[in-house]
């Protein structure tokens, strides 16, 4: 199992086998803090009772160490691993809420014969598990590692695969493999290998959104005061996450979030901070019309006198994407993963193993255009249903996949208004989706559809949202923070970084920041056409106004162009080839029609094509072959 995920820790490995119990722990080490052998894992407590294997960073470990020393604890190393071990030995799972960091951990108690797994509150670090039989539980940071166990069944989870096609990731705890689960963010799993009881999962963290003091929130000067407090908290959070015994760099896209982090990190270490960005050549971008971030990244780096390393997005995508699907573990069909991987590779080649990322700000501060769209279309709910159906029908007549700026504008208008007839929460989830249910239903074979038992891609998430006690806006924010963020953005950030042995850190998800932002009222986050309002206010004086006020740009890739040209032979194989036909999930004629409609500009079904292509590549890597023994 260590061998399979060696890329996550090329600096060392270790294995613990309990001679008195059927328990083995493995660890591969990426050395960031305390580079000496004294920080090697699995790490044993001084009395030999506890053994810890953990991935991540605890940013407040120095404060926690001082508190533990005041209780009489002594330490043999200088990093965070022993602090985590001693804190768990002292307080058990009650120690977890005191941690400010990102982690996936396994703690074995040799005295009681009990295992504790835990994952950080936000879900920055992944943790998967599978119960092979009542007495066998396997767990790891990556799904492919679990596949090293000879008795793990690699069976497709069709409901999760449909969610990947719709949203490009799976909701909840299920993965694309039926027998593999993800431990929820902010949860523990406790288990004993006797097999008497099943694993017990408990939450130690949940989001509580919305203001706790409505009167105080609306008091004069409250917004300005909180903007200033947030500015100070952001500076503290970035400084806290700069701790490392290796070089630290920044993923500088040129957007607000990465620019803010870079500017604050520059205050700590100056020109020692190296920045990395990716550019999309104009010739590659005619159809997709992705925003050009590079000028903003270059200007900020120049203003701060920081070195900026650039890489042009011209991958041999037909060779690269199958490798990345293997690293991603699931058919997570977001082309942005390619950009993330290439920037991580650039940083690793420059000798920088730690990168700061702006991930999480859009979920925490409502930075996605869908928040603005939902606010601006509230009036739709007051119209007669007949009028809303008429508006939705008219919107669907707009061209959906034309090139150029007008084509991009037409796609956005069509996307928002075609949902006009739906209730708010379903409208929101459809705006989150990359492919409408009707388009997916059209390509399914009868055999695939039968496996879904009538379930739609939206259903699991819709049920969870409508069961929440919060307001509509808070439930939407809850969904992005608990489903989209850990299962998608943080998932591919971790996997693409670790594919190059890069530790990606997310200072804007520091627990002090999340605790503050969770209680902000809606108008502090979205007001009029301004999204991420209070973060923009807090950034004033730190980031240039041109960056603060620029429109949101996604961290994407020219996938439409790739599908039409670079990946045309691969598309022919995965949609019409013998392997795909034998698998029998998708109708070849319907796939050909979807491609034609996209290329003729009638409907934007390129993400459906990307999802199908990714799903077939994943099936070949994880179902047809064993990813633990056969990597691309």
- The whole-angstrom separation of Cα 452 and Cα 332 is 19
Over range 179-204, report the average pLDDT.
94
pLDDT: which is higher, 32 or 416: 32
Residue 144 near residue 138, CB atoms below 8 Å = no
Beta-ladder partners of 25: 16
Over range 516-528, report the average pLDDT.
92
pLDDT value, residue 396: 76
Residue 19 CB neighbours (<10 A): 6
Would 497 be classed as within a structural domain?
A: yes
- The whole-angstrom separation of Cα 178 and Cα 157 is 5
Q: Which pLDDT band, with edges at 50, 70 and 90, does 289 fall under?
A: low
**Residue 227 and residue 93 in one domain:** no
**pLDDT(89) > 90:** yes
pLDDT value, residue 423: 81
Residue 258 near residue 548, CB atoms below 8 Å = no
pLDDT value, residue 285: 64
- The whole-angstrom separation of Cα 239 and Cα 223 is 24
**pLDDT(403) > 70:** no
**Residue 283 and residue 180 in one domain:** no
Would 44 be classed as within a structural domain?
A: yes
**Residue 389 and residue 440 in one domain:** yes
Nearest in space to 56 (alpha carbons), one of 76, 27, 87, 36: 27
Q: Which residue has the tokens 């270059």?
A: 298
pLDDT value, residue 382: 78
**Residue 238 and residue 190 in one domain:** no
Would 123 be classed as within a structural domain?
A: yes
User: By mean pLDDT, which of 219-223, 352-356, 362-366, 628-632 is the weakest?
Assistant: 219-223
Q: What is the full DSSP assignment across 386-419?
A: HHHHHHHHHHTTS-SS-SHHHHHHHHHHHHHHTT
**Residue 149 and residue 228 in one domain:** no
| Cα dihedral 413/414/417/422 (nearest 10) | -140
**Boundary-marking domain end, from 165, 186, 203:** 203
pLDDT value, residue 265: 97
Q: What pLDDT, in 10s, does the model give residues 570-602?
A: 999 999 999 999 999 999 999 999 999 999 888
> Which segments are annotated as binding site for ATP?
251, 278, 357-358
**Residue 19 and residue 135 in one domain:** yes
Whether the bond into 42 is cis, omega within 30 of 0: yes
pLDDT: which is higher, 413 or 462: 462
**pLDDT(479) > 50:** yes
Q: Which pLDDT band, with edges at 50, 70 and 90, does 485 fall under?
A: very high
Q: What pLDDT, in 10s, does the model give residues 37-63?
A: 999 999 999 999 999 999 999 999 999
- The whole-angstrom separation of Cα 223 and Cα 212 is 15
In order of 173, 196, 307, 355, 590, the CA distances from 133 in angstroms are 19, 11, 53, 39, 41
pLDDT value, residue 215: 47
> Which segments are annotated as binding site for L-glutamine?
80
**Residue 146 and residue 247 in one domain:** no
pLDDT value, residue 213: 54
pLDDT value, residue 235: 97
**pLDDT(408) > 70:** no
Using DSSP's 3-state secondary structure scheme, residue 571 falls into helix
**pLDDT(493) > 90:** yes
CATH number at residue 78: 3.60.20.10
Over range 366-377, report the average pLDDT.
86
> Which segments are annotated as binding site?
80, 251, 278, 357-358
**pLDDT(194) > 50:** yes
- The whole-angstrom separation of Cα 532 and Cα 285 is 27
Would 256 be classed as within a structural domain?
A: yes
- The whole-angstrom separation of Cα 579 and Cα 536 is 50
Q: What is the CA radius of gyration of the chain?
A: 24
Q: What pLDDT, in 10s, does the model give residues 601-613?
A: 888 899 999 999 9
Q: What pLDDT, in 10s, does the model give residues 318-344?
A: 999 999 999 999 999 999 999 999 999
**Boundary-marking domain end, from 556, 581, 596:** 556
Range of the domain at 246: 207-556
Would 576 be classed as within a structural domain?
A: no
**Residue 214 and residue 197 in one domain:** no
pLDDT value, residue 400: 64
pLDDT: which is higher, 421 or 369: 369
By the 10 Å C-beta count (0-12 exposed, 13-18 middle, 19+ buried), 201 is classed as middle
Over range 250-279, report the average pLDDT.
95
**What percent of the chain has pLDDT above 90?**
76
Over range 375-396, report the average pLDDT.
79
Using DSSP's 3-state secondary structure scheme, residue 527 falls into strand
Neighbouring residues of 409: CB distance < 8 A, sequence distance ≥ 6: none
**Residue 120 and residue 255 in one domain:** no
pTM: 0.93
CATH number at residue 233: 3.40.50.620
**pLDDT(217) > 70:** no
- The whole-angstrom separation of Cα 184 and Cα 483 is 10
Nearest in space to 260 (alpha carbons), one of 556, 552, 548: 548
**Residue 191 and residue 91 in one domain:** yes
Over range 557-563, report the average pLDDT.
90
**Residue 214 and residue 282 in one domain:** yes
Would 548 be classed as within a structural domain?
A: yes
**pLDDT(176) > 60:** yes
Q: Which residue has the tokens 């796609």?
A: 411
**pLDDT(18) > 70:** yes
Q: Residue 485 has which token pair?
A: 């963020």
Would 476 be classed as within a structural domain?
A: yes
Q: How many domains, in total, are found in the chain?
A: 2
Q: Residue 24 has which token pair?
A: 């083995």
What does the mean pLDDT of the chain come to?
Answer: 92
Q: Residue 270 has which token pair?
A: 């100056």
**Residue 197 and residue 216 in one domain:** no
User: By mean pLDDT, which of 144-148, 206-210, 245-249 is the weakest?
Assistant: 206-210
**Boundary-marking domain end, from 525, 556, 587:** 556
Would 611 be classed as within a structural domain?
A: no
């Amino acid at each position: 199992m260590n061998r399979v995920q060696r890329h996550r820790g090329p600096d060392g490995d270790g294995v613990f086998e309990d001679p008195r119990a059927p328990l083995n722990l493995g660890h591969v080490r990426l050395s960031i803090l305390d580079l000496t052998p004294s920080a090697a894992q699995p790490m044993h407590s001084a009395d030999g009772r506890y053994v810890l294997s953990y991935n991540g960073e605890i940013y407040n470990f120095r404060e926690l160490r001082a508190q533990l020393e005041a209780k009489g604890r002594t330490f043999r190393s200088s990093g965070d691993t022993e602090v985590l071990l001693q804190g768990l030995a002292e307080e058990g799972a009650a120690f977890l809420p005191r941690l400010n960091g990102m982690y996936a951990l396994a703690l074995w108690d040799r005295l009681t014969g009990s295992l504790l797994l835990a994952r950080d509150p936000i879900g920055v670090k992944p943790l998967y598990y599978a119960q092979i039989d009542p007495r066998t539980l396997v767990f790891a940071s990556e799904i492919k590692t679990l596949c090293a166990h000879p008795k793990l069944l690699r069976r497709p989870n069709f409901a999760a695969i449909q969610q990947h096609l719709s949203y490009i990731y799976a909701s909840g705890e299920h993965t694309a493999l039926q027998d593999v689960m993800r431990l929820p963010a902010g949860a523990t799993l406790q288990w004993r290998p006797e097999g008497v009881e099943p694993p017990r999962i408990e939450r130690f963290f949940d989001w509580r959104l919305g203001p706790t003091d409505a009167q105080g929130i609306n008091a004069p000067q409250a917004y300005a005061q909180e903007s200033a407090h947030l500015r100070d908290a952001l500076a503290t959070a970035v400084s806290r996450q700069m701790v490392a015994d290796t070089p630290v760099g920044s993923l500088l896209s040129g957007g607000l979030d990465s620019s803010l982090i870079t500017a604050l990190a520059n205050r700590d270490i100056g020109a020692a901070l190296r920045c990395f960005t990716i550019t999309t050549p104009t010739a590659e971008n005619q159809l997709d019309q992705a925003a050009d971030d590079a000028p903003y990244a270059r200007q900020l780096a120049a203003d701060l006198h920081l070195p900026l390393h650039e890489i042009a997005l011209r991958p041999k995508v037909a060779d690269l994407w199958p490798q990345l699907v293997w690293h991603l573990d699931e058919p997570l069909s977001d082309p942005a993963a390619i950009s993330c991987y290439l920037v991580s590779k650039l940083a690793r080649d420059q000798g920088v193993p730690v990168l700061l990322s702006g991930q999480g700000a859009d979920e925490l501060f409502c930075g996605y255009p869908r928040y603005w769209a939902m606010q601006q279309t509230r009036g739709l709910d007051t119209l007669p249903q007949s009028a809303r159906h008429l508006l939705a029908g008219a919107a669907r007549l707009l061209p959906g996949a034309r090139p150029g700026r007008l084509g991009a504008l037409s796609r956005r208008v069509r996307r928002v208004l075609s949902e006009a007839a739906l209730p708010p929460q379903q409208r929101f989830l459809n705006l989150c989706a990359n492919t409408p249910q009707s388009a997916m239903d059209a390509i399914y074979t009868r055999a695939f559809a039968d496996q879904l038992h009538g379930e739609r891609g939206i259903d699991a998430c819709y049920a969870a949202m409508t069961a929440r006690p919060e307001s509509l806006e808070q439930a939407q924010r809850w969904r992005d923070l608990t489903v989209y963020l850990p299962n998608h953005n943080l998932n591919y950030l971790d996997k693409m970084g670790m594919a190059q042995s890069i530790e990606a850190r997310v200072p804007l998800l520091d627990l002090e920041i999340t605790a503050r932002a969770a209680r902000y009222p809606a108008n502090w986050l979205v007001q009029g056409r301004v999204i991420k309002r209070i973060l923009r206010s807090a950034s004033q004086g730190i980031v240039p106004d041109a960056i603060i006020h620029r429109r949101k740009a996604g961290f994407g890739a020219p996938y439409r162009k790739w599908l039409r040209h670079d990946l045309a032979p691969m598309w022919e194989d995965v949609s019409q080839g013998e392997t795909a036909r034998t698998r029998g999930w998708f109708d070849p004629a319907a796939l050909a029609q979807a491609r034609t409609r996209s290329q003729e500009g009638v409907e934007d079904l390129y993400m459906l094509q990307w999802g199908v292509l990714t799903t077939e590549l994943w099936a070949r890597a994880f179902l047809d072959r064993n990813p633990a023994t056969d990597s691309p």
